[in-house]
Amino acid sequence: MSVSDYIPVIGLEIHSELLTKSKVFCTCSAEFGGDKNSRCCPVCSGLPGTLPVINQTAVEYAVKAGYALGCSINKFSVFDRKNYFYPDLPKAYQISQLNLPLCINGNVPIEYEENGEKKSKNIRINRIHLEEDAGKLIHDDLNGVSLADYNRCGIPLIEIVTEPDISSAEEARTLVEKISLLLQYAGVSDCKMEQGSIRCDVNISLMKPTDKEFGTRAEIKNLNSLKSIYRTIEYEIKRQARLLDRGERIVQETRRYDDNKGETRTMRTKEDAHDYKYFPDPDILQVNFTDEDLDRIRNSLPEMPYQRLDKYINVYKIPEKEARIIVNNKRLSDLFENALKVYNNPKSLANFVNGEIMRRMNLGEIDIEAPAFTAEEAAKLVQMSDTEKVTKNDAKEIFREMAEKGGDPEEIAKQRGMLIVTDTGKVNEVIDKVIAANEKAVNQYKSGDVKVFGFLMGQCSKELRGAATPKVIKEELEKKLKSL
C-alpha cells in the first residue's frame, strides 16, 4: 500500500503560556527572560513550608481561552497534582488538572487550501486546563554540570487538547495557526513560538479506510515551530505506513523530533511511561463559578477575528482576500483599527496596510511586533496622500523613512520639501506670468488649438514646483484662459 492508502488520525496537545503579570501560584513576575533565577521566590522554587495560592487572573484567562475556542466552562473545577521527579520541577509535582478541567467540548473551524482547492473543517477541542510551567535546565558540558533556572517555574500555561479530528500536516499547521490567532485576539497569550510561549505535542496513528478502530499511536513531544509540527507529521505518516506495509506493529511510545535530521526517535516506550499518581491538590481550593462570574468573563472577551472579518467585508466593503490578510495578523489588524480612529477611510487604509506595510514587512523592514511608527502616523500619511498633500510617490518615500525611524509624516514631508501647499494667490501669479510670457501659445489655445494646454500646464507646474497639486493648477489655468 502507499501512504495515501492510510488515513492519518492526529490529535494535538497545545501548551500556551498565559500573559498574566505574575505567576500562577505566587506573585513573581511572569515576564519572559530575566537573569537566571532572578524571578523566583520561596513558593515557586518549592522551599519547604511554602504554599501555592492561585492567581485568579490566570483562571479567568484560561476561561477566556475556553470561550475563544468555543468551549463550555465547568462551573466546578479541581486542581490536581501530577507527581514526577525532574530537576526542573522543584516541588516534584506539577499542579495541573485531570478530571475536572476549566473548559471542555470546544470547536475550532479551520480553512485551508489543498491542491489549489479550498477546504474547511471543524476540529473539536476535548478540553482546556490550567497548569504551571516547569523551569529550565542548562547543561554545561565543559564543566560536566547541569544548572537549573527556575524563572519559568510557575508561569501559567493552558493545555489545549484536541480530539483526533486532524488528518494531515496541513490541517495541523492551520489549526495551530488558528488557535494562536484566537488566543492572541482573546488577549490571553502572545503565542510567540520562538520564546516557547506556545508548544505542541502530536499524537498520531494510521488506519485503513476499512478499519473500525484507530491504530496504535505514537506521541511526539515538544514541537515548538509550525515547520517542525508539519515536518514531524509528514515524517511520522511515512514511518508508520512503512512499518504497517511490512506487516510490523506500531509501538505505543513517546518520540522526540530531531530538527537537524528531520526525523523522530524513540524517547520512551509505554513500559517506561510515568505513573503520575494524580490526586486532588489539597492546597488549592476548588474553583466554583457563578453564572454572573462566567457572564462577566465572557463579556470581557475582546472582538474576535471572525467578528472583525465580518465587519471588514460587510461594513467596510474590503475585498475578502485583503480582509483575511489583515485579520490573520492580530498586530496588523490592531494597527488598522487604530488607524481608522484617526482617518476613517477603511478602503484606503486597507490598501495601504496590504500594500506598503505588507511589502515592507516581507522585506523585513518592519517588525510588526514593534513597529517604529504608530498607527496614527500611518493614518495621517494615507490621508495626506489621498488629499494630495503629497504625491503618491513621495508618500512611499516618506513611509520608507517612517518604517525605519518613525516620525510625523507632515514633518518629514516639510523637511524634505515634499509637502504640497496650495497657495492660490501664488498659483494665479504664476499663471499670469506664464500667460504673459507665452502670448503665442495662448492665442493658439483661444483659437481652438487645445493641444497647447499641456505646454502651458507644464510651464506652470515647473514654476510652481510642488506648491500646488496638478489638479489645482489645471483648474485655475482653465479658468484663467476662459476668462481672457
Minimal distance, residue 299 CB to another protein, in Å: 27
90 sits near another protein (criterion: CB under 8 A): yes
How many Cα atoms are found within 13 Å in the side-chain-facing hemisphere of 143?
A: 6
Residues 319-358 that bind another protein (CB under 8 A): none
Q: Which is nearer to another protein, 122 or 286 (CB)?
A: 286
Minimal distance, residue 87 CB to another protein, in Å: 5
> Which one of 5, 38, 42, 242 is in contact with another protein (CB under 8 A)?
42
46 sits near another protein (criterion: CB under 8 A): yes
144 sits near another protein (criterion: CB under 8 A): no
> Which one of 15, 23, 64, 91 is in contact with another protein (CB under 8 A)?
91
> Which one of 148, 297, 402, 412 is in contact with another protein (CB under 8 A)?
148
Q: Which is nearer to another protein, 45 or 461 (CB)?
A: 45
252 sits near another protein (criterion: CB under 8 A): no
Candidate ranges 28-36, 61-69, 78-86, 300-308; the one touching another protein (CB under 8 A): 78-86
Q: Which is nearer to another protein, 83 or 422 (CB)?
A: 83
217 sits near another protein (criterion: CB under 8 A): no
39 sits near another protein (criterion: CB under 8 A): no
Candidate ranges 81-89, 254-262, 384-392, 420-428; the one touching another protein (CB under 8 A): 81-89
Q: Which is nearer to another protein, 47 or 437 (CB)?
A: 47
> Which one of 54, 157, 220, 233 is in contact with another protein (CB under 8 A)?
54
> Which one of 5, 31, 38, 51 is in contact with another protein (CB under 8 A)?
51
Candidate ranges 90-98, 293-301, 326-334, 374-382; the one touching another protein (CB under 8 A): 90-98
> Which one of 15, 64, 81, 480 is in contact with another protein (CB under 8 A)?
81
Query: Using CB under 8 A as the criterion, what x/- string covers residues 258-287 for binding another protein?
Result: -----------------x-xxx-xxxxx--
Minimal distance, residue 86 CB to another protein, in Å: 8
92 sits near another protein (criterion: CB under 8 A): yes
Per residue, the 3-state secondary structure of the chain, as one string, reads CCHHHCEEEEEEEEEEECCCCECCCCCCECCCCCCCCCCCCCCCCCCCCCCCCCCHHHHHHHHHHHHHCCCEECCEECCEEEECCCCCCCCCEEEECCCCCCEEEEEEEEEEEECCEEEEEEEEEEEEEEEECCCEEEEECCCCEEEEECCCCCCEEEEEEECCCECCHHHHHHHHHHHHHHHHHHCCCCCCHHHCCEEEEEEEEEECCCCCCCCCCEEEEEECCHHHHHHHHHHHHHHHHHHHHCCCCCCCEEEEEECCCCEEEEEEEHHHCCCCCCEECCCCCCEECCHHHHHHHHHCCCCCHHHHHHHHHHCCCCCHHHHHHHHCCHHHHHHHHHHHHHCCCHHHHHHHHHHHHHHHHHCCCCCCCCCCCCHHHHHHHHHHHHCCCCCHHHHHHHHHHHHHHCCCHHHHHHHCCCCCCCCHHHHHHHHHHHHHHCHHHHHHHHCCCCCHHHHHHHHHHHHHCCCCCHHHHHHHHHHHHHHC
76 sits near another protein (criterion: CB under 8 A): no
Residues in contact with another protein by CB under 8 A are 42, 45-54, 81, 83, 85-87, 90-93, 148, 275, 277-279, 281-285
